[in-house]
Amino acid sequence: MIFEHIHRFYFLGIGGIGMSALARYFAAKGYDVSGYDRTASPLTKELEAEGIAVQYDDSLDAVKGLDKEATIVVRTPAVSEDAPVYVWLRENGFTIKKRAEVLGMVTRSARALCVAGTHGKTTTSTMLAHILHSSHVGANAFLGGIANNYHSNLLLDAESNLVVVEADEFDRSFHHLRPYMSVITSMDADHLDIYGTEEAYRASFAQYAGLVEEALVVKGSLKFNVESLRARVYTYAVGDKADFYADNVVMKDGAICFDFHHLRGMVQGVRLGVPAWVNIENSVAAMAVAHLMGATDDELREGVESFAGVYRRFNVHVNTPQVAYVDDYAHHPEELRASIESVRRLYPDRHVIGVFQPHLFSRTHDLADGFAQVLGRLDEVVLLPIYPARELPIEGVTSEWLLGKITMEKGKQKALVERELLAGYLRGRVDEQVGKACVVVTMGAGDIDRLVNDIKETLIYEKNG
């Protein structure tokens, strides 16, 4: 066991994607695991079905029976510091650690392959985990999303000492990790409520890069002071030459194929299992680390081709000649840009209706101009009210305010719609495009995913029923 004298883990916010993966990991290792969350969700119901007790109220009965000396409490900022359960545990002297601290301890007991970056880290880390897990190398993995291949955010391999980890920069969490190898996909300013400035954000990545022991694989356009790093630095790219790169990219009949160049040769005709344009870059990064860890050319090709994607990462839910529907987790201007570009490439000449639910008042305020610029490229823009998550409102920062910043070309449309009216609104907009094929893409990191089934059923019914 990793933690001596510890028999139980209690998770505050156990329903979070990262927290639930840790909970499952410790349960699989034989620890007693339980936790608290404010509301039930499909993920908490899965945990309960796996034998992990979850409480949803503020009763102290479940925690009063815990042995303080044998328990570690793991918390996430998503649970308020004045939550009665948290207050009681803190006032009674329990050992309380952030998720990142506990994950950091796990990475010290294995060789950690970490993926960091403002964008792309969930898909890239999940793809890397899948390639290795399905190869002779093997790997464990803590994932930031539900892998469609495994319907889980945790992969276990008792024979492997490798662990794939998504390295989250929020609250400088990734500084707790000890990466053996790492990918850095991007460093576009985000979480400025935490960092304050873009310079501080980038400095945090530089500090993280200094923690990497063996190899750092970075997007070719990113700049690092290589001499200050102990790891060997490799670059990756699409189209341009680098240590690892893709070229001869071909898109045909909804499929994307390319050649992958690595340090000792080339893998020809790699076919993306999830044909989003942005996944070319993600797959090159994942294949680079898998190659460095010893995966064969055939295993690289087969892993990428069999990769079924990640829940809410460019999932295609409807795909007919008349209408397509894509749902994506994009919530930063550059992520929106990549998602919209992938839609345009996959469905050229279609009328694109983009729905965006802004996530966090602070992010909307700090990145408003970027959001307005990229959303203005759509044929139609639909905004939902801002999803607040952990934040209180900021005066003047609303979706209506953001909508006013978006400039559309003549004849193109923008609208603000309440979430409960969205499915019906989209049905009407698609119907108005008489004789013109449409693509609807929903984007955001809030609770917009809970509307996916209604939208899917509505669009299928209207166009095919």
Convert 180-193 to b/e letters by CB count within 10 Å (16 or more is b).
Answer: bbbbbbbbbbbbbb
Please check the confidence at residue 405 and state whether its pLDDT lies above 90.
Answer: yes
Alpha carbon distance 428, 423 (integer Å): 9
Alpha carbon distance 190, 195 (integer Å): 8
* C-beta of residue 129 within 8 angstroms of C-beta of residue 139: yes
Q: In what order do the strands lie in the sheet with 413-416?
A: 315-319, 323-328, 438-444, 351-357, 380-383, 413-416
Contacts of 236 (CB under 8 A, 6+ apart): 217, 218, 219, 220, 242, 243, 244, 245, 281, 284, 285, 288
Which residue type sits at 355?
Answer: V
Q: How many residues does the chain have?
A: 465
pLDDT band for 234, please (50, 70, 90 cuts).
very high
By C-alpha distance, which of 52, 59, 49 is closest to 26?
52
How much of the chain exceeds pLDDT 70, in percent? 98
> What domains appear along the chain, each with residue ranges and CATH number?
8-98 (3.40.50.720), 110-306 (3.40.1190.10), 315-464 (3.90.190.20)
Please check the confidence at residue 1 and state whether its pLDDT lies above 60.
Answer: no
Alpha carbon distance 206, 116 (integer Å): 11
pLDDT band for 208, please (50, 70, 90 cuts).
very high
**Degrees, nearest 5: CA angle 147-153-158:** 105
pLDDT band for 407, please (50, 70, 90 cuts).
very high
Alpha carbon distance 37, 15 (integer Å): 6
3-class state of residue 62 by DSSP: helix
Contacts of 134 (CB under 8 A, 6+ apart): 299, 302, 303, 306
| Least reliable range by pLDDT among 60-64, 76-80, 111-115 | 76-80
Reported as a single tens digit per residue, the pLDDT across 298-349 is 999 999 999 999 888 888 899 898 999 999 989 989 889 989 998 998 898 8
pLDDT for the residue numbered 464: 46
Q: Which residue has the tokens 């010290």?
A: 108
pLDDT for the residue numbered 463: 45
Mean pLDDT of the chain: 92
What would the mean pLDDT of 134-162 be, rounded to a whole number? 93
Residue 292: half-sphere exposure toward Cβ, Cα within 13 Å: 23
pLDDT band for 411, please (50, 70, 90 cuts).
confident
Which residue type sits at 151?
Answer: H
Structure tokens at 440: 């609807």
pLDDT for the residue numbered 192: 75
- pTM assigned to the model: 0.80
